[in-house]
Amino acid sequence: MGGSYPRDAQDIGVPVHHSCRGFASHYSLKFIAVWLVSLAAIGCGNSVTLPDGDVVDLDGVNLNDIDLDGVDVDQDTLSKLDIKSDTISSDVDASGTDASGTDASGTDAADTADIASGCTSTAACNDGNPCTDDTCGANGVCAHANNTATCDDGNICTTGDACKDSTCLPGTATSCTDNNPCTDDSCDKATGCVHLANAATCDDGIACTMADTCTATACKGFANFAYCNDDNACTKDSCDVAAGGCVNANTTSECTDENPCTTGDMCTNGACIGAAMDCNDNNICTDDSCNSDTGACVNLANAATCDDGNICTIGDYCNGEGTCVGDGTLNCDDQNACTADSCNSGINTKVISLGCVHTNLIESPCSDGNACTYGDFCANGACLAGDPTNCNDDNKCTDDSCNPDTGACVNLANAVTCDDGNACTLADTCTQTVCEGTPNTCDQGPYNNTTCSTMICDYTDGLCKSNNGVLWNGTFATSSGWKLQGEWQIGLAAASTDQTFGYPDPGEDYDGDGHLAGTVIGGNISNTPHDWYYLTSPAIDLSAQATSTYLYSNPTATSWTQYDQSLILSFSWFAGLSAAGGQYLIVQCSGDGTNWTTLADGAKEYNYPNWQGTYSLVTTGYDIYIPKEALTKHFQFRIGYKVTAVEAIVPLVSGLTIDAPQIGIGSCWD
């Protein structure tokens, strides 16, 4: 140890000393934090004892290879150093590789190197990676060099796998195409090629099939008989899928040989054959043949001599028109449709007199020349007129007549005076086939709130009467102008007795005229679901109120002011309705009879034992306001009810009864 140190000690900046003490001093300075090495007793011997009791061999030691963490950076070989079996906190490792790390004695008393316990053969260095070439070096250290050998990446769906950078890379993807259009081909890396059946369109190779489709990996089509049509009516065409082609079998059916001069055409041995047409008309005055282009018989008149066999003709000859005639033909036509004209030829008859005979026809149909009669008939040789055509359309506003040339009815609009059945209309006149009168407003004008005494027309007698602000007072004493839909009726009051829910129809009306409107008066409404059934009023002229300086003068008024300055609709009603049974009530109005506005609707049960007013139909508790836009000459209102569900609990319901409809000024009804 007194000589010089190996060269690589200088390579890492370790100073070289030429005495054993000098080495110990350097060693102590470098490892003072880990090993507290006492070098006081060290001389120039062959070993040094560390604080943990290990004996480190110094013979051949390269000082640069003393490493605290057990890793030899530069791979220098320390041939006589125990690596793993001796515990030195952090092993001193010269080569960085101790194959077995096992010291024979376990104490390394003699400090003989145990590097020999590293690798001894290539087999001992096998790292299990086919992409490295494994070898055991002379220093007992395994080496693993990357190669480019063929390998297996574990995926059956690749071939030609090869090593690169110690990794087995996949090669070429395996082709799983089976050339079957009816399979979807893929590769499963665990099992290999997979061929799943699909339902794609395809071609089965048979010309006489159509709509070919994949089924269970096979291409199959449907027989296409149109493809096999050979345009021969004497063959039965079909597609034989099994044989893969068309079959055209001969038939014995009827056919046409395209020759118009044959009949009874039949298929024989695949050909259509017919018999020649018989064009003989048994007329001696025609030459008979068949037109081969049209198939029509041609019977050309000739001028041959003939005998018509009729004693009423003489000098018989073919007249060039295919008829055998005689020069002495008798004309027995008397131009009377009610006689049968004939010539008595004496052939096959016992009548002695010969010549023309005119026999009267009895009750034979005829025409009297007037299209406006029907059923004309013969009597005593004359045509008598039948019954006249009835053109009465039951409309007094049309003039009804019949056109004798065509027999068509003519109903022309007139302008005669008429009666529209409404006692409160004046000067009723026909206009465009409709009888209309001017409503009798009793000289009503724009209203103010200074008085509620108003003259209106009483529909019962047509007289103007004072009604304390009431502009219109309806009645059901007559049904004139009212429209009834569904089960609505107008008639005398009648109490119902068999209802099972609510209250029966009232036995008396409200206004004392004995009449009212109701849904099945005195009975029960149907509980079968149906849409709205309406009771619709006649047209009421409210146009004068639309220009009133008082009514509707404040559109932003509060509810009470709106009530005072509006026209309101009022009627009395007697109800036996069940909301639980899906029975509903609605009140609507219209200014043109087409567009309807809902004024009030009822969404609860209405069952009361006496007559009620309309105020309870609205949430405000007031009467029903009529919107200003509805104040026209043709104002109407309607009351409807509907059933939306079958009544199971209370199957018999009396329904709804209405009476005393009125329209008046709100301020007059406070």
3-state secondary structure string across 173-228: ECCCCCCCCCEEEEEECCCEEEEEECCCECCCCCCCEEEEEEECCEEEEEECCCCC
Does the pLDDT at position 640 exceed 90? yes
Amino acid at 286: T
pLDDT confidence of residue 402: 94
pLDDT confidence of residue 649: 59
The residue ranking higher by pLDDT, 346 or 177, is 177
pLDDT confidence of residue 596: 96
Does the pLDDT at position 87 exceed 50? no
pLDDT confidence of residue 555: 65
Does the pLDDT at position 15 exceed 60? no
Asked if 417 and 400 touch (Cβ cutoff 8 Å), the reply is no
- The rounded distance, in Å, linking the Cα atoms of 320 and 339 is 32
Asked if 104 and 125 touch (Cβ cutoff 8 Å), the reply is no
Cα separation values, 93 from 24, 52, 109, 208, Å: 19, 16, 18, 88
Question: Two tokens at 215?
Answer: 């089924």
Give the residue-averaged pLDDT of 336-357.
Answer: 76
pLDDT confidence of residue 150: 92
pLDDT tens per residue across span 267-276:
999 899 889 8
pLDDT confidence of residue 393: 92
Work out the burial of residue 637: count CB atoms within 10 Å of its CB; fewer than 13 is exposed, 13-18 middle, 19 or more buried.
Answer: buried
The residue ranking higher by pLDDT, 616 or 460, is 460
3 state SS for 575-636: EEECHHHCEEEEEEEECCCCCCEEEEEECCCEECCCCECHHHHCCCCCCEECCHHHCCCCEE
pLDDT tens per residue across span 531-587:
999 999 998 888 878 877 777 777 666 666 666 778 889 899 998 888 777 888 899
- The rounded distance, in Å, linking the Cα atoms of 344 and 353 is 7
Q: Which of 54-63, 105-114, 391-400 has the highest mean pLDDT?
A: 391-400
Does the pLDDT at position 31 exceed 70? no
pLDDT confidence of residue 445: 57
Q: How far is CA 489 from the centre of its chain?
A: 42
pLDDT confidence of residue 451: 66
pTM value > 0.85: no
Question: Which residues does 573 contact at the CB level (< 8 Å), separation at least 6?
Answer: 611, 612, 613, 614, 656, 657, 658, 659
Does the pLDDT at position 85 exceed 70? no
- The rounded distance, in Å, linking the Cα atoms of 537 and 661 is 9
Count of beta carbons in the 10 Å neighbourhood of residue 541: 20
Mean predicted lDDT score pLDDT of the chain: 77
Does the pLDDT at position 651 exceed 80? no
Could you tell me the pLDDT band of residue 94, with boundaries at 50, 70 and 90? very low
pLDDT confidence of residue 484: 96
Lowest mean pLDDT among 24-33, 132-141, 465-474, 489-498: 24-33
Does the pLDDT at position 43 exceed 80? no
Does the pLDDT at position 378 exceed 50? yes
The residue ranking higher by pLDDT, 64 or 225, is 225
Q: What is the dihedral of CA 219, 224, 228, 234, to 10 degrees?
A: 140
pLDDT confidence of residue 59: 42
Count of alpha carbons within 13 Å of 15, Cβ hemisphere only? 11
pLDDT confidence of residue 666: 78
pLDDT confidence of residue 181: 92
pLDDT confidence of residue 168: 93
Give the residue-averaged pLDDT of 638-649.
Answer: 81
Asked if 588 and 638 touch (Cβ cutoff 8 Å), the reply is yes
Asked if 626 and 566 touch (Cβ cutoff 8 Å), the reply is yes
pLDDT confidence of residue 136: 93
Does the pLDDT at position 630 exceed 60? yes
Does the pLDDT at position 3 exceed 50? no
Asked if 14 and 28 touch (Cβ cutoff 8 Å), the reply is no
Count of beta carbons in the 10 Å neighbourhood of residue 542: 24
pLDDT tens per residue across span 291-302:
988 889 998 999
pLDDT confidence of residue 47: 44
pLDDT confidence of residue 115: 41
pLDDT confidence of residue 341: 85
pLDDT tens per residue across span 403-441:
999 999 999 999 999 988 778 888 999 998 988 888 787
Does the pLDDT at position 32 exceed 60? no
Does the pLDDT at position 105 exceed 50? no
Question: Two tokens at 308?
Answer: 């018509």
Question: Two tokens at 73?
Answer: 């950076």
Does the pLDDT at position 172 exceed 50? yes
- The rounded distance, in Å, linking the Cα atoms of 284 and 172 is 99
The residue ranking higher by pLDDT, 494 or 345, is 494
- Sign of the four-CA dihedral 477, 480, 482, 486: positive
pLDDT confidence of residue 117: 52
With CA atoms as reference, report the closest residue to 296 among 319, 313, 274, 279.
279
pLDDT tens per residue across span 128-170:
899 999 999 888 899 999 999 899 888 889 988 899 999 999 9
Query: In this structure, what DSSP letter does residue 547 have?
Result: G
Does the pLDDT at position 453 exceed 80? no
CATH topology for the 455-669 domain: Jelly Rolls (2.60.120)
Matching residue, tokens 């005593």: 380
Task: Compute the chain's Rg from CA coordinates.
Answer: 63
pLDDT confidence of residue 63: 38
Q: Where are the domains of the chain?
A: 1-119, 455-669
The residue ranking higher by pLDDT, 650 or 404, is 404
